[in-house]
Amino acid sequence: MKPPDHYLVQQFQNGDKSAFDVLTERHYKRIYDYAYYQTRNVDDSYDIAQEVFFRAFKSLHNFKGNSTFYTWIYQIARNACVDYYRRRSSRPTLELTEEMINQESISTMRQPERRPDSIVLGKELEEQIRSAVSQLPEKQRQVFILRHFEGLSLQEIATIMDRSLGTIKAHLHHSTRKVWKLLEPYLSDKPIRKGG
Amino acid sequence: MHRHWKRRFERQIPLYDEGVLSDSQRRRFERELAKNEQLADALRRYGRLMGTVKRLRPVYPPRAKWEQFLPQLHRRIEETDREQPNGWYAHLIRRLYNRLESPAARPRWLEKAAFGLAGAALGAAAAFYLGQILPPQNGGAPLSQGRQIEQAVEQTASNNIAFEEPLVEDFGGPHHLIADPSRE
């Protein structure tokens, strides 16, 4: 039987450093996944995951156990990703708003010639989903990824993001609607009028 | 009116899918869903999108690099430990640094307090700088025209008094008692 996370945390805090290896082995893939959905870059995600577990090792002795270990480590991952975006902030980034979805530049994706039925569930749709998610505003992106890609509950997301459940619901609603609205042409069975 | 209701129900699709609608909202939504083919179609499309979202998988680094995750983390931790000085003061500083560095462990008020202190310091520095370069408030203030004339008149009057010869001859009294060698 695998020892639970809180037991391993206690072991670590009592001086058994090898307990941290077990925790790392158990969670580093999830943290990598989370970082990858944020950055869409293999090397950056790997580095972020390394940074997350390094920070976790340094501050695990301060962990009070008010939340589960994995929500705590997601908190660190979330902040590491925010730092990552901050470092990249000198480069121009594009955030997706409702207005932009209706603009001509984005609506080019809605042109009928770009909507072959064969790709509806194909690679291009996956790429469009990743692209749409990466363009969401920061908090909405975090919530969307944690809910839909990582499969966390709304309450866990609220703990990780240190926000109320209502705020998380609102972020999830807005982010999902934006992504849906943007990708709807790929999902429709009917032909789409140009510029629609 | 119909368009309004259609939009309202379509907006609720993600909430319905999440199961976060209230009981009355859910019942209303399902009643509409039973009779509105467009809404049912929209719900199917939404389900297709979410199905694809859930099937998305990240791209992983090459196996060799992936297997080095834990050894690489160990190396980094060991290197940091070697670089750090020992002693109680170093331990204290390290603990404080770790607490500040780790955002999860960093209390929210600490950031606010840091911003507040930085703002106050900036304000104080600006006030000090302005105090250095500006003249005193009353010393350099421009005078009104009337006050300028008054000052000029006062100045002239005081000059006249200062440079006029004392009218000793016109007055009797104690002046004559002073011995004047030129008169003798």
pLDDT at A112 over 70: no
Q: Which of A54, A62, A172 sits opposite B18 (nearest CB)?
A: A172
CB B63, CB B40: distance < 8 Å: no
Rounded CA gap, A79 and B135, in Å? 49
> Residue A71: what pLDDT?
92
In sequence order, what DSSP letters do the residues of B46-78 get, joined into one string? HHHHHHHHHH--PPPPPHHHHHTHHHHHHHHHH
pLDDT at A171 over 60: yes
Number of C-alpha atoms within 13 angstroms, CB side, residue A59? 24
Mention every residue, 6+ apart, whose C-beta is less than 8 A from residue B108: A162
> Residue B24: what pLDDT?
93
Rounded CA gap, A34 and A133, in Å? 13
Q: How many CB atoms lie within 10 A of CB B10?
A: 17
> Residue B161: what pLDDT?
55
Mention every residue, 6+ apart, whose C-beta is less than 8 A from residue A163: A171
> Do A121 and B45 count as a contact with CB atoms less than 8 A apart?
no
Lowest-pLDDT choice from A51-65, A70-84, A96-110, A151-165: A96-110
B15-46 burial, b if ≥16 CB within 10 A, otherwise e?
bbeeebbeeeeeeebeebbeebeebeebbebb
pLDDT at A111 over 50: no
Would you write out chain B's pLDDT as a tens digit for each of its 184 residues?
Answer: 456 666 778 888 888 988 888 999 999 999 999 988 988 988 988 888 888 888 888 889 999 998 999 999 999 998 887 766 666 666 677 666 666 655 555 556 677 788 889 999 999 998 888 887 776 655 555 556 677 777 777 777 666 655 555 544 444 444 444 455 544 4
> Residue B101: what pLDDT?
58
Work out the pLDDT band at A93, boundaries 50, 70, 90.
Answer: very low
Q: Which residue has the higher pLDDT, A184 or B116?
A: B116
> Do A177 and B54 count as a contact with CB atoms less than 8 A apart?
no
CB A49, CB B69: distance < 8 Å: yes
Mention every residue, 6+ apart, whose C-beta is less than 8 A from residue A31: A48, A49, A52, A53, A73, A74, A77
Rounded CA gap, A51 and A22, in Å? 17
Q: What angle do CA A182, B9, A196 make, to 5 degrees?
A: 35
pLDDT at A179 over 60: yes
Mutual orientation of helices A123-134 and A18-39 as an angle, nearest 10°? 100
Rounded CA gap, B59 and B75, in Å? 25
pLDDT at A72 over 60: yes
Q: Which residue has the higher pLDDT, A176 or A192?
A: A176
Determine the 3-state secondary structure of A94 from DSSP.
coil
Work out the pLDDT band at A40, boundaries 50, 70, 90.
Answer: confident
CB B169, CB B180: distance < 8 Å: no
Task: Say if residue A130 is exposed, middle or buried (CB neighbours under 10 Å; 0-12, 13-18, 19+).
Answer: middle
Chain B interface residues facing chain A, Cβ-Cβ under 8 Å?
11, 13-15, 18, 20, 45-46, 48-50, 52-56, 58-61, 65, 69-70, 72-73, 76-77, 80, 98-99, 101-105, 108
> Do B103 and A24 count as a contact with CB atoms less than 8 A apart?
no
> Do B103 and A33 count as a contact with CB atoms less than 8 A apart?
no
Q: Which residue has the higher pLDDT, B154 or A30?
A: A30
B-chain residues near A151 (CB < 8 A): 54
Mean pLDDT of chain A: 80
Work out the pLDDT band at A90, boundaries 50, 70, 90.
Answer: low
> Residue B138: what pLDDT?
56
> Residue A196: what pLDDT?
37
Report the amino acid identity of residue B46: Y
Rounded CA gap, B113 and B108, in Å? 9
Q: Which residue has the higher pLDDT, B157 or A56?
A: A56
Helix H or strand E encompassing B15 = helix B13-18
Determine the 3-state secondary structure of B106 from DSSP.
coil
Lowest-pLDDT choice from A71-80, A85-94, B7-16: A85-94
Q: Can you say how many angstroms the Cα of residue B54 is from the centroid of all Cα atoms in its chain?
A: 40
C-alpha distance from B15 to closest chain A C-alpha (Å):
7
CB A141, CB A38: distance < 8 Å: yes
A58-62, A88-92, A102-106, B108-112, range with greatest mean pLDDT? A58-62
CB B21, CB B12: distance < 8 Å: yes
Interfacial A residues in 85-144 facing B (CB < 8 Å):
120-121, 125-126, 129-130
Rounded CA gap, B177 and A155, in Å? 110
Token readout for B171 is: 């007055």
C-alpha distance from A180 to closest chain B C-alpha (Å):
7
